[in-house]
Structure 1
Amino acid sequence: MRAALLQMTSGVDPASNAAVLVDAVVHAAADGAAMLFTPEMSGLLDRDRARAAASIVVEEEDRVLAAVRDAAARTGLWVHLGSLAVRNGDRYANRGFVIDGGGAIRARYDKLHLFDVDLPSGESWRESAAYRAGDTAVVVATPMGRLGMSICYDLRFSYLYRALSDAGAELLAVPAAFTRPTGAAHWHTLLRARAIEAGCFVLAAGQTGEHADGRATFGHALAVDPWGAVLLDMGEEAGLGFVELAPDRLAEVRAQIPALQHRRTIPPVTVA
């Protein structure tokens, strides 16, 4: 099974970002990928919320989503569109999509955990000021296996990935726009840990570089196997990466370390 990962430097113009995404769909299909994975906020990355508001629309009117669906239908390629900002009532949703080879949306996932933090670097992020958190975890059947969906900051909450693997996930998608300080400290470690504890392949497409809104992201889109081995690390360059996933590897690792079979409901904690 061949997967393609897109590492990109999304900007403040959805039309330009859509062009990058469509080009990636075309090239991933031509190079034999079964599915393309793109980063968080593939369609718009803009921390100026007043400016961004003009570009954030309801899902049915989102031109980036429409362009990717059209490209998927033209090429027959499945796409995990890591996430888009879409209008959700009086707020926004950070929403990921799985699009099939006919251009149909097979699954949607709204980011469960919102990133509110003040970093030692002086950066401050308040995702909850504009976004509404999701309330549903999602596993969807794809040509590459049963895919558990998540987005960026979700990576820090292991119980989500336990729930996804308990529901039959064989692959985990972690599209992200990790900051450089947190990426350097935690990105590789957390992704490898999620792969190991869930007994799943992990595919993590990332944002990278210096963005038009002034932020800088970590890059290093990764593919990790269920043993925790890094199969692909894209470094800091934008572009497409490809990785071969061996289906037999999943069964092999789960037989070697049958932790999923040994899971228990956590008993009450005694505080002495």
Structure 2
Amino acid sequence: MRIAVHQMCSDTTTTHNIVKMVAAIYQASEAGAKMYFAPEMSFMLDKDRNRAAKSIVSESENEGLKYLADVAGKCGMWVHIGSMPILDQASGKYANRSIVIDANGHIRARYDKMHLFDVDLSTGESWRESSAYLAGSGPVAVQCPLGLMGLSICYDLRFPDLYSAYAKSGVDVLAVPAAFTVPTGQAHWHALLRARAIEAQAFVIAAAQSGTHEDGRRTFGHSLVIDPWGEVLLDMNETESIGYANLDFKRIAEVRSQIPAQHNRRDITMPVEIC
């Protein structure tokens, strides 16, 4: 099955980014793709939270999301928006939310990023997502044309328990939209994504932000599609573009029969014995 991966360099203006996404969805549909994947914060990437706040609304009030759903329905295309900031009106904080839209333009799944990026990097960059964002409450998987797909976002990638839960659920695909920084991407992006594919014996689709953004940050790019054996099927390097990959789902059964890791799995619930 053919999929489209959109590597973006999102700016601070939602309408600019939506226009790019709509054009990419139409292009992907014409190219025969059955599903489109965008990166984390595809709608808007802006580290100036005061400026960004003017554009962040609740899901029900987001006109860009409604427009994308309409386009998905017109194209008969499943759309994974990557993620977008959503206002939680009760708390006044935001959620970093993945949304999956089906080929009829209906929202089929929502997942809020569980692990928030609170770090100080050696480059001097400091990020505190928890000061503005609420953490999601749990894993979400959705039935789609690719089979059962487990949802996650960026920093989630570093927490294998989440992907272990998806593996136990028998997912066929893991979606990991991201906006990795350059230093962390250079060090860990390929290794972590290949590990998640190998552990879950599932396809991994990781659409990424790439380049120097309007708000001054730099993201790593290298959107990847990886098969259940850990083989890289697509690496988009650093250019803002649309890439395609063909997924052969017989590969899942082949890999799982060769190494029956899920059958051999033992649940580790006891405390570690320290000697």
Equivalent residue for 2:23?
23
Q: Which residue identity does 1:80 align to in structure 2? A: H
Separation in structure 1 between the aligned mates of residue 159 and residue 58 of structure 2, nearest angstrom: 28
Post-superposition Cα deviations, 1:214-271, rounded to whole Å, max 9, x if no partner, equal: 0000000000000000000000000100000101000000111110111111133111
1:255 lines up with 2:257 in the alignment? yes
CA distance in 2, matches of 1:106, 1:118: 36
- Shift of residue 66, structure 1, vs aligned partner: 1.4
Match of 1:269?
272
1:252 is paired with a residue whose SS is: helix
Task: Indicate conservation of the 8 Å contact 1:139/1:168, yes or no.
Answer: no
In structure 2, the residue matched to 1:66 is 66
Corresponding residue pairs, total: 272
2:135 maps to 133
Q: State the 1:35 CA deviation.
A: 0.3
Report the equivalent of 2:190: 188
Name the TM-score, length of structure 2 as normaliser.
0.98
Displacement of 1:61 in angstroms is 1.2
Inter-partner Cα distance in structure 2 for 1:42 and 1:99 = 15
CA–CA distance in structure 1, aligned partners of residues 229 and 120 of structure 2: 34
Which residue number corresponds to residue 236 of structure 2?
234
Distance 2:152 2:10 in 1: 19
Q: Distance in 2 between matches of 1:61 and 1:7?
A: 26
Q: Distance in 2 between matches of 1:270 and 1:22?
A: 54
User: SS at the partner of 1:55?
Assistant: coil
The alpha-carbon deviation at position 52 of structure 1 amounts to: 0.2
What is the rounded CA distance, in whole Å, between the counterparts of 2:218 and 2:151 in structure 1? Answer: 24
Q: Which moved more, 1:204-213 or 1:163-172?
A: 163-172
Return the offset for 1:144: 1.1
Match of 2:55 in 1: 55
What runs of 5+ residues in structure 1 fail to find an aligned partner? none
Match of 1:157?
A: 159
Deviates more, 1:60-69 or 1:171-180: 60-69
* Structure 1 moving runs of 4+ over 4 Å: none
Distance in 1 (alpha carbons) for counterparts of 2:235 and 2:57 = 33
- Find the aligned partners of 1:127 and 1:265 in 2 and give their Cα distance: 31
**Counterpart residue identity of residue 46, structure 2:** D
Q: CA deviation at 1:70?
A: 1.2
1:10 corresponding residue in structure 2? 10
- 1:30-109 equivalence runs, <5 A: 30-89=30-89, 90-109=92-111
- Structural RMSD (CA): 0.7
Which deviates more, 76-85 or 58-67? 58-67
- For structure 2, the 5+ residue unaligned runs are none
**Cross-structure match for 1:173:** 175
